[in-house]
């Protein structure tokens, strides 16, 4: 069996933390469309009125935006809901 080179091991460790189960696209209700329902569910999650499962949180983790592209920070917070709201209004597109 071949042994991993130091470089291969480094790449494996580096990429391990960047693997995401879902795309950060804003589809909290996972219907394929970012709309007022996603915004509502986001605000409900922030206030404790709704519990999001890990996939929903992964779809909703869209903030911050860097050059118009989501750079998830593994935290679902107000910044994410505001970006989802802007996407639902057509002010951003990613």
**Would you kindly state where each structural domain of the chain is located, as residue ranges?**
22-88
Question: Could you give the 3-state DSSP secondary structure of residue 88?
Answer: helix
Over residues 43-60, the mean pLDDT reads 97
At residue 80, the pLDDT reads 98
The pTM score is 0.78
Fold of 22-88: Type 1 dockerin domain (1.10.1330)
Question: What confidence tens digit (pLDDT) does each residue in 3-50 have?
Answer: 656 665 454 444 555 555 899 999 999 999 999 999 999 999 999 999
What integer pLDDT is reported at residue 6 of this predicted model? 60
pLDDT at 19: 55
| pLDDT given for residue 21 in this prediction | 80
């Amino acid at each position: 069996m071949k042994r991993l080179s130091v470089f291969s091991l480094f790449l494996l460790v580096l990429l391990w933390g960047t693997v995401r189960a879902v795309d950060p696209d804003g589809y909290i209700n996972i219907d394929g469309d970012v709309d007022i329902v996603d915004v509502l569910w986001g605000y409900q999650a922030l206030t404790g009125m709704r519990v999001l499962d890990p996939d929903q949180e992964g779809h909703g983790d869209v903030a911050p935006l860097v050059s118009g592209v989501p750079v998830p920070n593994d935290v679902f917070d107000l910044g994410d809901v505001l970006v989802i709201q802007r996407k639902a209004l057509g002010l951003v597109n990613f």
